[in-house]
Amino acid sequence: MRIAVGVTGASGAIYGYTLIKALYDLGIEVHAVYTDMGLKVLEYECGHSIEVIQKYATVYDNADLFAPLASGSFKMNGMVVVPCSMHTLGALAGASGRDLLTRAADVTLKEGRKLVVVPRETPMTPIHLENMLKLARSGVVVMPAAPGFYHKPATVDDIVAFMAGKILDIFDIEHALFKRWGN
């Protein structure tokens, strides 16, 4: 299995980091692309540099439109943009493909593969909501970073793991990141 993960500059870099590490730990091939602000937020919020991510994923420069992720012939099972800034969400809704992250997401969608976006913003404007609706109508799974609490999280890591687990569920990837309801 091969999954691409795009990480933008929205607050919540820990979601992207946790998902990338979980995929790696499950033996799934991970390809990652960070926006410039995504890298800054990763360092600010998590204290990690891109070198830490390179332990778990093949990482591409967001300006490299010659990277494999930019082509539909590069087979992937899907892509997740987590966290997804409203800036990137708007670019995805407009199918701009102006950088590697938005091009890879556009390719994922045009090839009929699963695309998941995890917006991390509140409150939202009607423009944000319209962009999410446009993406959802195009087959994108819009999964706001809104964790549940029925698993009784004790730490921030438990809350983050819940969201990573819900993303893995979209791809039907077995995991033990949170206790399921009824278990």
Residues flagged as binding site = 9-11, 35, 85-88, 120, 150, 166
- Our CA dihedral for 17, 23, 29, 32, rounded to 10 degrees, sits at -20
CA distances from residue 97 to 70, 128, 150, 152 in whole angstroms, order as listed: 9, 19, 38, 40
Note whether 50 and 42 are within 8 A (CB).
yes
Q: Are 95 and 59 in contact (CB under 8 A)?
A: no
Which residues line the annotated binding site for dimethylallyl phosphate?
150, 166
Q: Cα separation of 136 and 153, whole Å? A: 29
Please enumerate, by residue number, every residue annotated as part of a binding site for FMN. Answer: 9-11, 35, 85-88, 120
